[in-house]
Structure 1
């Protein structure tokens, strides 16, 4: 089985490595990605076996377009719950404008992949274009009695309702929100700042002494949003200060408040270090400074009570 995932974006994002941002997040939160867009498929995959992302050189010649378009693609090897090995193709494409030949190109990818690997294929097209009329989800061919129709999953970001995305616990709901906001604020830094503040606060509400799984969610989202919704340096500083004044910001005990990263993307590094012994001690120290009990600190950072007491004595 292969899943063909295609991302089409408008030109408004400028120099941002948009395909790279999505590729990174899909790689890190692959289970959540499948759960959000193809929940029926997620029920069949055994995610207790870590997906294996294979080298793209194995199949790049199959889907490379003659027009030299920029393509970022991945193959993911997964196992189903019945023990069968399957391959999932993750294909992300960056394109500046709505392409009238998009559906035809998707069909070409489909039959090339099928012919090369003889795998079942699920195609997912993610469309960030803001035009209501551009909805390329079907390719139809007919010529003197010979015809075929190829239909695939197409998700238009503008179709998602903001209220529903905000209620979802899936990190890709926030990612789509960020993409919507990026389109709405391409020429308005102040408005983008407000949206960015809103998203960061939403994320950090879930970040109070997070589990390892939550840290991955938070790290990936902070990185994604920070680069997608880029704002001037002075607004970044303002954002940092404003967040620290919120209840959520004050409880971000995993941050060194005296040396807070200017770029919120650097929080990703902090989160990933939380699993290390040094990171645990840093978190414990910050929690103790906030007046938390030794027992509570020990519970959240998975250190023994004696270890936490020792940290408290050294403060």
Structure 2
């Protein structure tokens, strides 16, 4: 069964846009997203076949109706385990504060999709705030004997408890927990700072995710958390020096450089790949040393203290000063 999933076009992580961040992480952790919210649907899909995100032109007639960012404008193809030639469209909309006519708009999206493509539609909305405006996913119309009731899947992040999310084996639960923390720390940056450290340390100690996916999960989630839980510059600098992550028994450093985090995988590539490249002529040992020097220089240029860099790269202070041309 060929399935179409409708999503809003994601934005780059560099853009401070909560909608864009959510759509991005849904694309990167799509299977985990479906498993978290609609496990019955996940059972029907064949995730071994990579989802195909289609061009928004295929949805142009429906997109033209939207105002601002009210409608999803991306279609994704996935395949079921049965191989049936039935089409399924999943409409995903994530809103912070749903407007009064939210359910009516969900219905309109439904019938436009159904009418244009003549396919079965599974609709879902994930609300990221603590609003009580919506209590159920339903739109009802009635006029002089003519009536209809449209129901869709409605998920509210505020309905999930912290313990439930912390104990979940699904990596997407960490994204949901980060969203809860956003609203709990709306007016308290110090508390947000503490929650941010908490989440990243939890991720550094995660071992229950499948080993082959562990690094990918952590990298994706760190990007998401870093931008969703924004903190002032002074706290960001403090965060840099406190995040000593433990991975496979080795101390690793989480670095935030120019608002673009360097994940563990990228850190390791700097140490290993660049180090090997620079040190080919001098052998593996020298290559590893050169890799450390490259990382150390990047850290110092990013404002990290000499003491911090010396401790975690094991490079003498005198040599570090030479890297940035500072006299002894």
TM-score if structure 2 supplies the norm length? 0.73
How many angstroms does 1:129 deviate by? 2.7
Alpha-carbon distance change, 272 to 56 in structure 1, aligned in 2, over 3 angstroms: farther
How many angstroms does 1:131 deviate by? 2.4
The question of whether the paired residues in 2 share the 8 Å contact of 1:204 and 1:249 is answered with no
How many angstroms does 1:54 deviate by? 0.5
Report which stretch shifted further, 70-79 or 27-36.
70-79
Q: Aligned pairs, how many?
A: 273
Which has more radius of gyration?
2
How many angstroms does 1:79 deviate by? 1.1
The question of whether the paired residues in 1 share the 8 Å contact of 2:90 and 2:124 is answered with no
Alpha-carbon distance change, 216 to 207 in structure 1, aligned in 2, over 3 angstroms: same
Alpha-carbon distance change, 219 to 283 in structure 1, aligned in 2, over 3 angstroms: farther
Instruction: Please say if 1:80 is aligned against 2:80.
Output: yes
What's the CA shift string for 1:218-263, capped at 9, x where partnerless? 111011000000111221121122222x65698354x5x8xx4446
Alpha-carbon distance change, 19 to 72 in structure 1, aligned in 2, over 3 angstroms: farther
Instruction: Please say if 1:271 is aligned against 2:265.
Output: yes
The equivalent residue for 1:292 is none
Once residues 283 and 230 of structure 1 are traced to their aligned partners in structure 2, the CA distance between those partners, rounded to angstroms, is 33
Secondary structure at the counterpart of residue 230 of structure 2: coil
The equivalent residue for 2:284 is 311
Structure 2, unpaired ranges of 5+: 9-14, 277-282, 289-328
Kindly report the root-mean-square deviation, in angstroms, between the aligned alpha carbons of the 2 structures: 3.2
Higher relative contact order (CA 8 A, sep 6+): 1
Secondary structure at the counterpart of residue 129 of structure 2: coil
The equivalent residue for 1:105 is 105
The question of whether the paired residues in 2 share the 8 Å contact of 1:26 and 1:33 is answered with yes
How many angstroms does 1:23 deviate by? 1.0
TM-score if structure 1 supplies the norm length? 0.75
How many angstroms does 1:212 deviate by? 4.5
How many angstroms does 1:185 deviate by? 1.0
The equivalent residue for 1:92 is 93
Once residues 145 and 189 of structure 2 are traced to their aligned partners in structure 1, the CA distance between those partners, rounded to angstroms, is 55
Once residues 187 and 226 of structure 1 are traced to their aligned partners in structure 2, the CA distance between those partners, rounded to angstroms, is 18
Once residues 93 and 128 of structure 2 are traced to their aligned partners in structure 1, the CA distance between those partners, rounded to angstroms, is 12
Instruction: Please say if 1:38 is aligned against 2:32.
Output: no
Once residues 145 and 3 of structure 1 are traced to their aligned partners in structure 2, the CA distance between those partners, rounded to angstroms, is 35
Once residues 204 and 71 of structure 2 are traced to their aligned partners in structure 1, the CA distance between those partners, rounded to angstroms, is 33
How many angstroms does 1:214 deviate by? 1.6
Structure 1, unpaired ranges of 5+: 7-14, 285-309
